[in-house]
């Protein structure tokens, strides 16, 4: 079998695995399930993918490909970082299972490295110290991943609440006795003011605060840090 044919077959296996994970979660992905999905013998996927760990790495890399910006990358560093943030958010939201597989160190793959290459290329334009550039990129990633994780938690919590979930968006009902006593004693005056009455509290399902405002605040802070080197 030619290299091109082998690569194509592997891509087909990875695409099938991603379809399963998108629909049912990453735990539903197995070699047996893949074989059923592809209509082949149970052991056939092992011809092209050595193990479940390698398959997960290849799935991660396929998601990383969706984070890549089309060339040419915007000249303005702020516009470029904003574009990368939105591309990353889009990929994570399209494949939420990718947020659930961070417990093991992934192997370096080409699309992940291309994503890093693009990001580092933006930092080079800023002419900041390497550790500053690294911290800036990590802060963008931390914000995007944190936002997507909170949204995923929000969706799961709402799903667990059933048909009346929307009514519980900002409240999970009566507080426990310790909280009720603290409210009654005036220990939490601001929270009591927010809730308007003792029976409910506003810290149930977190509301969607919006992605773009927080990103712009972050970019404002980065700009204030690097401005002396860019003027």
Supply the DSSP string of 85-123, one letter for each residue. Answer: HHHHHHHHHH-GGGGG-TTSPPPP-HHHHHHHHHHHHHH
Domain that holds residue 86: 61-165+209-231
The residue among 197 and 72 whose pLDDT is bigger is 72
Q: Is the pLDDT of residue 134 over 70?
A: yes
- Residue-wise pLDDT for 150-188, tens only, equals 999 888 877 777 666 555 555 546 677 888 888 889 898
CATH number at residue 13: 1.10.10.60
pTM of this structure: 0.84
Asked, for residue 171, whether it belongs to a domain, the answer is no
Asked, for residue 180, whether it belongs to a domain, the answer is no
**DSSP structure class, residue 49:** -
Q: Do residues 66 and 107 both lie within one domain?
A: yes
Residue 158's pLDDT is what?
76
Per the structure, the count of domains in the chain is 2
Which of 47-56, 83-92, 93-102, 184-193 is predicted most confidently?
83-92
Residue 197's pLDDT is what?
53
Asked, for residue 177, whether it belongs to a domain, the answer is no
Q: What are phi and psi of 105, to 5 degrees?
A: -75, 120
Residue 173's pLDDT is what?
60
């Amino acid at each position: 079998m030619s290299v091109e044919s082998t690569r194509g077959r592997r891509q087909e296996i990875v695409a099938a695995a991603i379809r399963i994970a998108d629909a049912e979660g990453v735990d539903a992905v197995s070699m047996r399930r893949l074989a059923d999905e592809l209509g082949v013998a149970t052991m056939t996927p092992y011809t092209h993918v050595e193990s479940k760990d390698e398959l997960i790495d290849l799935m991660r890399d396929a998601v990383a490909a969706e984070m890549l910006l089309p060339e040419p990358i915007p000249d303005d560093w702020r516009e470029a970082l904003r574009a990368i943030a939105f591309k990353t958010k889009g990929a994570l939201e399209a494949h939420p299972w990718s947020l659930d597989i961070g417990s093991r160190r992934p192997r370096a793959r080409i699309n992940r490295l291309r994503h890093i290459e693009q990001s580092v290329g933006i930092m080079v334009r800023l002419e900041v110290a390497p550790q500053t550039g690294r911290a800036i990129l990590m802060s963008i990633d931390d914000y995007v991943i944190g936002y997507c994780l909170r949204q995923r938690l929000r969706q799961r919590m709402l799903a667990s609440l059933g048909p009346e979930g929307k009514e519980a968006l900002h409240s999970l009902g009566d507080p426990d006795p310790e909280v009720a006593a603290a409210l009654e004693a005036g220990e939490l005056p601001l929270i009591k003011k927010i809730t308007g009455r003792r029976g409910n509290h506003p810290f149930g399902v977190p509301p969607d605060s919006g992605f773009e405002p927080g990103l712009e605040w972050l970019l404002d802070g980065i700009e204030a840090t690097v401005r002396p080197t860019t003027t």
